[in-house]
């Protein structure tokens, strides 16, 4: 079981984390050009700007709104944008010039997304779009529906470079929920995968306890970085230690639960790999959900709620553990097959060893028995 001194060591480890790069990533100046029909732009901007704002949105508005009739005169400046959004009101016909502009999208160096408002088909002469443009087009039939903002956010983050996701979520509240969901999911998978990779040496009983303790440090580091990213995404001030101290009462139960569970599972022999991986996933997921609720609305998750979240996370974690272990086994078999094929082509492993070792060592002779 973990001791209180373990938590002190973990806190010291978190204080030593270099988070300057993450802070700089969150403060990266972002510029997203929104070009389109006035009615479509009126719906597009609120979908991106409206969202949880427990903290004031820091920095300038990253959106640059450009009515389509002014796009030609602003075209030269679009090259420096991080992303281009083209908002089309499908209820009105496109002019010949507007329809022709779609062919120019493929020449854009910046990622782009075409957003159809109030329908799912391009109007008029622009119906025959190239496969590239069709793949980067989403339809929002009713901007007032509850999932409209999430649909737009998912499509935007899929097109925007990963290194800009944090800055985009920090500057645009409408992206925050999807960013948080993806961050928690990816960190949970990362910790589960690490747990699987470290499970093989943990099966040696003599070294299982030290490896379990090392796991706790690595997994907690990843959780701390996840929590810090969530804080920055929701607009919290960027002081790392202040954010971790602030959220410890919220996620303390999740840390305790995960550490105690992993310390016990680490002593189980080979059949304990699946629960270890599941607990690594579920503990990270639980911590992330608790921190997410705190930074989104200031909600303090109760002990009962934490238990419920943990139970749901364990069920998800077991499924993910099965997927991760199956994937690892498949990769291992593939590597083994490749190695066997190379061995066959090269003339066999024995022959290669003979070539690598130019002499054979004589076996050690036993001392002759004394007469």
Residue 129 has pLDDT above 80, yes or no: no
State the chain's mean pLDDT as an integer: 78
Same domain? 141 vs 197:
no
Residue burial 18-53, b: 16+ Cβ < 10 Å; e: rest: ebeebeebbbbebebbbbbbeebbebbbebbbebbe
Residue where a domain stops, chosen among 118, 134, 160: 160
Minimum mean pLDDT range among 9-23, 212-226, 299-313, 346-360 = 346-360
Q: Is the pLDDT of residue 273 over 80?
A: no
Residues 146 and 213 reside in one and the same domain: no
Q: Is residue 360 part of a domain?
A: no
Q: How far apart are CA 22 and CA 181, in angstroms?
A: 18
Out of 196-205, 225-234, 265-274, 360-369, which region has the weakest mean confidence (pLDDT)? 360-369
Give strand pairing partners of 85.
34, 113
Domain final residue, candidates 137, 160, 183: 160
Instruction: Say if 165 falls within a structural domain.
Output: no
In a shared domain, residues 150 and 54: yes
Task: Indicate whether 367 pLDDT > 80.
Answer: no
pLDDT(27) > 80: yes
Q: Is residue 349 part of a domain?
A: no
Residue 352 lies in a domain: no
139 and 269 housed in the same domain: no
- Residue 188 and residue 120 share a domain: no
Q: Provide the pLDDT confidence category of residue 231 given band limits of 50, 70 and 90.
A: very high
55-106 pLDDT tens trace: 988 889 999 999 988 877 777 777 789 999 999 999 988 877 777 777 677 6
What is the chain's Cα-based Rg? 27
Domain check: are 103 and 56 in the same one?
A: yes
Task: Note whether 127 and 241 are same-domain residues.
Answer: no
Q: Are 244 and 37 in contact (CB under 8 A)?
A: no
Asked whether residue 250 is domain-assigned, the answer is: yes
Residues 115 and 225 in one domain: no
For every residue of 319-371, DSSP letters joined together read HHHHHHHHHHHHHHHHHHHHHHHHHHHTT-HHHHHHHHS-S-PPPPPPPPPP-
Per-residue pLDDT at 147 exceeds 60: yes
Same domain, 135 and 193: no
Q: Distance (Å, rounded) from C-alpha 122 to C-alpha 129?
A: 9
For residues 188 and 287, state if they share a domain.
Answer: yes
**318 in the same domain as 207:** yes
Count CA atoms within 13 Å of residue 186 on its CB side: 12
Looking up tokens 């690594």 gives: 280
Q: How many domains does the chain have?
A: 2
The enclosing domain of 52 has a CATH number of 3.40.50.300
Is pLDDT above 90 for 42?
yes
Is residue 366 situated within a structural domain?
no
- For residues 13 and 48, membership in a common domain is answered with no
In which domain, by residue range, is 115 found? 31-160
pLDDT at residue number 12: 56
DSSP letter for 70, please: G
Better-predicted residue by pLDDT, 186 or 120: 186
362 domain residue, yes or no: no
Asked if residue 345 belongs to a domain, the reply is no
> Could you tell me the two tokens for 361?
């060592």
């Amino acid at each position: 079981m973990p001791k209180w001194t373990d938590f002190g060591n973990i806190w010291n480890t978190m204080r030593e984390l270099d988070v300057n790069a993450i802070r700089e990533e969150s403060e990266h100046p972002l510029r997203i050009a929104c070009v389109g029909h006035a009615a479509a732009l009126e719906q597009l901007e609120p979908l991106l700007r409206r969202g949880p704002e427990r903290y004031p949105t820091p920095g300038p508005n990253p959106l640059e709104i450009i009515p389509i009739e002014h796009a030609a005169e602003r075209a030269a400046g679009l090259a420096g944008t991080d992303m281009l959004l083209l908002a089309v009101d499908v209820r009105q016909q496109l002019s010949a010039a507007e329809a022709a502009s779609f062919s120019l999208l493929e020449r854009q160096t910046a990622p782009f997304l075409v957003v159809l408002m109030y329908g799912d088909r391009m109007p008029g002469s622009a119906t025959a779009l190239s496969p590239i443009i069709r793949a980067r087009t989403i339809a929002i039939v009713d901007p007032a529906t509850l999932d409209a903002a999430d649909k737009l956010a998912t499509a935007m983050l899929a097109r925007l470079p990963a290194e800009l996701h944090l800055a985009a979520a920090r500057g645009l509240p409408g992206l925050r929920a999807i960013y948080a969901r993806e961050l928690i999911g990816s960190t949970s998978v990362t910790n589960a995968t690490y747990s699987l990779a470290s499970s093989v040496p943990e099966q040696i009983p003599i070294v299982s306890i030290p490896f379990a303790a090392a796991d706790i440090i690595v997994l907690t580091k990843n959780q701390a970085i996840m929590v810090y990213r969530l804080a920055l995404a929701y607009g919290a001030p960027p002081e790392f230690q202040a954010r971790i101290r602030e959220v410890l009462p919220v996620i303390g139960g999740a840390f305790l639960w995960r550490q105690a569970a992993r310390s016990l599972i680490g002593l189980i022999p080979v059949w304990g790999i699946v629960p270890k991986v599941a607990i690594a996933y579920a503990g990270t997921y639980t911590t992330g959900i608790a921190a997410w609720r705190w930074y989104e609305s200031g909600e303090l998750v109760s002990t009962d709620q934490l238990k419920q979240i943990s139970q749901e996370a364990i069920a998800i974690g077991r499924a993910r553990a099965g997927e991760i272990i199956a994937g690892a086994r498949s990769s291992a078999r593939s590597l083994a097959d490749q190695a066997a094929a190379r061995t066959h082509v090269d003339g066999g492993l024995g022959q290669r060893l003979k070539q690598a070792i130019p002499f054979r060592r004589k076996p050690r002779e036993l001392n002759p028995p004394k007469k």
